[in-house]
Structure 1
Amino acid sequence: MAPQAPPTFDTQFSPKVGAGIALAPGLTRITAPNASPYTFTGTNSFLLGTNRVAILDPGPDDTAHLESLHRAIADREVSAILLTHTHRDHSAAAAKVAARYKAPLWFGGPHRLSRPLRRFERNPIKTSCDWDLMPDRTLTDGETITAGDLTLTVHTTPGHCANHLAFGLPDILLSGDHVMGWNSTLVSVPDGSMADYFASLDKVIALPYRHFHPAHGGPIEDGRAHAEALKGHRQMRNDQLLAAVGNGAKTLGAVVKVIYPTQPAKIRMAARMTMAAHVEYLEQRGALKVKRGLLGIRLALA
């Protein structure tokens, strides 16, 4: 079998922040002004519908962004506020927007960890999660919903976090943070799960949608092929981690130094979180032995 081609990342995407950009009939993107190393050019909010709309991922609680959404909505009725997940760059404005438009909140249930915390463990992205936000309707896998005047199919895609959803339109998948074109997604245990992430990649690869519109960055022309490449990329990281441990790296910091030797500090922080998810994944599959203590973890090949 030929080796999987690496993913091609579009880092040149330059949105018109705050402008309503028509992507397809009934689908409009408004990018929030919250660019960062973790959000790229900002969170993409979407209006779904033509005469009646729903809002997907209202984004940060930012006055300028909320007014951009309001201008794009104009005088149309808002039927619901949808979330791909409850990380605050997507959901911080959700309650305020729901109250403004008297619209219900629909998402995949309250924020939850992918597994319980271990003794002495902390969730490194705890403050980035919307723990208190409750849905008026909990969306479930495979159900069909009406959002604005569009019909969507709900797909559970855990991995980046436990309550992550993607939404399907004809030939379009609104992929949230699960599949993005500018970078591979952050998987931070125990908030997320690498095993779930791989399973959700397999799921979207098997779905019939070709064009993906993610919550950060630009559209992905062939989303299934890109998801295949992302899967190969993560499998490569598994191999690199095992090789690093085999060559003497015994700690997570040592592994990150081997695999990401020149990345800036903030990127290395994200890499460390995702490498911890790879460690857990490989431990579950019997490829690594992990000894945990107050001072961190020690790694050895199984």
Structure 2
Amino acid sequence: MHAPAKEPLRILAPNPSPLTGPGTTTFLIGQDHVAVIDPGPDDDAHLGAIIDAGCGRISHIFVTHAHLDHSQGARRLSHLTGAPVLAFGTATEGRSAINSRLSASGLIHGGEGLDMDFTPDIRLQDNHQVETPDWSLRALHTPGHAAGHLCLEWGDTIFCGDLVMGWSSTLISPPDGDLADYFRSLDRLAHLAPARLLPTHGDAIGAPLPRIAELARHRRDRTAQIMAALRHSPDNAEGLARRLYDIPEPLFPAAQRNVLSHLIALSQLGAIDFQGDLTANSFFSIS
């Protein structure tokens, strides 16, 4: 395995928001063969900065997942540089059966927004190794935030996309996100024990294991709150989010989707029930 030769170059996109934090960080590694990781939005200034930093040597464009703030600029960057786009698949590839049914019920997307036009040139399966004389990256399929989410292992560093962030918990928004998958992906990262994580939003995480444990604990605590609320009275995701969150109204749709991800996971475990077909507005009660 190639060891990282130096720090990756970071280019921050001008798209700050409550969901993206300071904005999308695009990473560049390599000298003669430059890999771009998460090219970000289709923004002239941002893509120009990536091309300038690549010095005509961009050879690969990696996308951790097909949300617009990560993938939208990939196709134009590919046209401008000739480099192929590598990712797990399209925006909906890898969805579970239950999330596919939710999508069919009219729950199209949430959170950052799916890049429905995204299609990679090269599909990366779990453990797929991509190597050049400059670097080696191993693709890790880590669903949870998105069905096709990838992390990229680079020596003792992992580019972790949106799976783990230091400044915020990860949005899990069905039908894109899946809480059970998220827990499994956190466990996988913890087992790999990287020296650091490089999220696409926010600062590097220099102590990954405590942060991963903190995020898992946060989700378990939220599950306990939801179960306590349902013991008091049945409710749907919107009602529970109103009862459990005290946040600005623009953030409420994200909170509602997070609650829905917990409800789906709990129903799959048999801890709670719902009547009829599962939809975003289903009412849940304790089994």
Asked if TM exceeds 0.5, the reply is: yes
Q: Which runs of 5+ in 1 are unaligned?
A: 1-22
User: Helix, strand or coil for the counterpart of 2:261?
Assistant: helix
How far off is 1:65 after superposition? Answer: 0.8
Classify 1:27/1:175 alpha carbon distance in 2 versus 1 (closer, same or farther; 3 Å): same
CA contact (8 A) 1:108 1:163 kept: yes
Which of the residues 251, 254, 269 maps onto 1:267? Answer: 251
How far off is 1:148 after superposition? Answer: 7.5
Size of the aligned set, in residue pairs, is 278
Residue 257 (structure 1) aligns with: 242
CA contact (8 A) 2:234 2:284 kept: yes
Q: Which runs of 5+ in 2 are unaligned?
A: none
How far off is 1:125 after superposition? Answer: 2.4
How far off is 1:51 after superposition? Answer: 3.0
Residue 227 (structure 1) aligns with: 212
Residue 13 (structure 1) aligns with: none
* Residues in 2 aligned to 1:147 and 1:217: alpha-carbon distance in whole angstroms: 28
Q: Which moved more, 1:276-285 or 1:205-214?
A: 205-214
Q: 1:159 is matched by which residue type in structure 2?
A: G
Q: Counterparts of 1:37-76 in structure 2 under 5 Å?
A: 37-73=18-54, 75-76=55-56
Which of the residues 278, 282, 288 maps onto 2:266? Answer: 282
* Residues in 1 aligned to 2:216 and 2:228: alpha-carbon distance in whole angstroms: 19
Residue 13 (structure 2) aligns with: 32
Q: 1:27 is matched by which residue type in structure 2?
A: P
Query: Identity of paired residues, percent?
Result: 35
Classify 1:24/1:212 alpha carbon distance in 2 versus 1 (closer, same or farther; 3 Å): farther
User: Helix, strand or coil for the counterpart of 2:275?
Assistant: strand
Are residue 110 (structure 1) and residue 94 (structure 2) matched?
no
Q: Counterparts of 1:158-177 in structure 2 under 5 Å?
A: 158-177=143-162
Residue 182 (structure 2) aligns with: 197
Are residue 238 (structure 1) and residue 241 (structure 2) matched?
no
Structure 1 length normalisation: TM-score? 0.87
User: Helix, strand or coil for the counterpart of 2:227?
Assistant: helix
* Residues in 1 aligned to 2:264 and 2:88: alpha-carbon distance in whole angstroms: 25
* Residues in 2 aligned to 1:148 and 1:68: alpha-carbon distance in whole angstroms: 24
Q: Which has the higher helix share?
A: 2
Q: Which has the higher strand share?
A: 1
Residue 7 (structure 1) aligns with: none
CA contact (8 A) 2:111 2:171 kept: no
RMSD: 2.0
How far off is 1:175 after superposition? Answer: 0.3
How far off is 1:249 after superposition? Answer: 4.8
